Structure 1
């Protein structure tokens, strides 16, 4: 039996967005039938979308949300007020079309796919469920590595493949969401090492913790951090998990390899984006950050990525809810480039 350590994972080839195209795209926007700069941050979004598809035109009609679900062994340490069984219950709620993400997706014409990245249960087959399970949840990172290096690589590759498949099926925009009891704890550990940032500044209330619960959560996270001094991205992922975070990072890399924008949701999704960018810096130009989460640590993650989110609504649910709400903004940004007349055409009556 081979005992060789897997080689470092090689992300798919990603072409950085073209900085030389920025000036020409911005000039096009400045020449539209509107006052200079009057659409504020939407204009910068439009520039980014133009760079992503350059020399083609951006499109935003078809948007797909991938909700990645996985369980975390850290829940054994009391890092969440909810038991791991809630992950399964919420997956079934998505499949029934009754979660917040479903309601928001219906309101914005976004399709949803639910992905079992590592739920700690056998899920029944369902037309809306993608079985990508790597293992039955991660191990308890306070006691041992959350997963093997090979499992981390497999999760990244699977997320990448899923994103590429959606884009080849016609997705113009990919949005990311997640569900996994205990995943704010794992995200805090990843952020601590990948930003890097002081551990205590990375720990928040997650799904809602009282003072006693926060003490347990902080102690478990500190124990996990003390167990390993990993700093390399793939090593940090294997040590601290989780599987849904790994697949989101892979999906970002897959979308970037196909030159499509990927909308990053809140704290956990942003940590996945940080992981993706640490693995392949060129992926950063393809990420659009949906909103500023109320979860502590999100500002640190955004700062590490030099990211300015589109919305600030006090959200901290996850599921991709914030990413869904940002989809209409991307559609508007794309149509600013493709549909709005130039001021010269308006003045010359060429409409």
Structure 2
């Protein structure tokens, strides 16, 4: 795997950031989470005048071999059908990108469909879906490295356009399954507590999903002699998920603000942080969904989501919904007056 130059944010400017926040014409601490977000973004960009210029949204699509085991209520064809729907502007992600001014890039890294005649999808296909990790590694080392590089390259494209804030989404039927296994392996939380309904499984469906994933983990642990974070990621991950990990690491290296969406993207963030712990400094966790285990995963990372709206769509929709809150934090730093300029007595 390629290496990244990711360092913790430089905390030497914390006193200056806090002084500016405390001198805004408001009671000390009265803007709560907005002040927390503002501090973090100032640290990410190492400035007292942060910017969210040219927001970009990357949506990676890929299919999963494990889908063949009936772990999702949705059939695999929904992946390509939704990808085409996105090109027509008809998805939830399209609506929210339009609303909040994000440039949307739709990227095929592993969908089991030929999009060559479809405009609007960036072709980075590695294969027509991953292998079935119940029996073998989802991807080879070469495929893993390619997925990481694809994520990096897409971030570079965004940076070239002036991007300072990035959100990432996914489209891939059955991708809650690898997410649940990553959560289990990286956090130590029992697998049963990491598995939920996904797109809508009933109780017997969830039980079947647990049985399949439990068997997959057992097979992996019995047959892989030397495991590591990279091995965990490669064995179970989807191409769209590993591309998201690469994008997160590249964005952290380049000091972008990274908006982390729901359960699947939180699992990708968890994987990225296993490889480079400092990457978490650049992440804002935007939404805690209803998928079983999501809050547990956030708690394991010491993260607190901005919203809990009951979303379970994926696509990065939670991150996009939270963007106005992040924008308000930046506007607070740049547009609010201070006590001296407003000629208001500072009373604390």
User: TM-score, with normalisation over the residues of structure 1?
Assistant: 0.94
Question: Which of residues 144, 149, 155 is equivalent to 1:152?
Answer: 144
Please name the residue that 1:25 is paired with.
17
Contact kept, 8 Å, 2:97 with 2:103, in 1: the verdict is yes
Give the secondary-structure state (helix, strand or coil) at the position aligned to 2:313.
coil
Please name the residue that 2:70 is paired with.
78
> How far, CA to CA, are the matches of 1:128 and 1:46 in structure 2?
35
Give the secondary-structure state (helix, strand or coil) at the position aligned to 1:228.
helix
Pairing 1:215-294 to 2, within 5 Å after superposition: 215-229=207-221, 231-294=227-290
- RMSD across aligned positions (CA): 1.5
Say yes or no: does 1:54 pair with 2:50: no
Contact kept, 8 Å, 2:9 with 2:44, in 1: the verdict is yes
Contact kept, 8 Å, 1:63 with 1:327, in 2: the verdict is no
Deviates more, 1:44-53 or 1:132-141: 132-141
Give 1:82 shift: 1.1
Q: CA 1:259–1:113 in 2, change beyond 3 Å: closer, same or farther? A: same
The runs of 5 or more residues in structure 2 that have no matched partner are: none
Report Cα offsets for 1:166-188 as digits up to 9, x if no partner. Answer: 12211121001111000001111
> How far, CA to CA, are the matches of 1:28 and 1:128 in structure 2?
44
Contact kept, 8 Å, 1:11 with 1:279, in 2: the verdict is no
> How far, CA to CA, are the matches of 2:141 and 2:32 in structure 1?
44
Question: Which of residues 135, 144, 147 is equivalent to 2:127?
Answer: 135
May I ask how many residue pairs the two structures share in their alignment?
Answer: 341
Contact kept, 8 Å, 1:203 with 1:296, in 2: the verdict is yes
> How far, CA to CA, are the matches of 2:66 and 2:216 in structure 1?
9
Give 1:61 shift: 3.5
Give the secondary-structure state (helix, strand or coil) at the position aligned to 1:251.
helix
Say yes or no: does 1:100 pair with 2:92: yes
Say yes or no: does 1:320 pair with 2:312: no
Deviates more, 1:76-85 or 1:226-235: 226-235
Please name the residue that 1:6 is paired with.
none
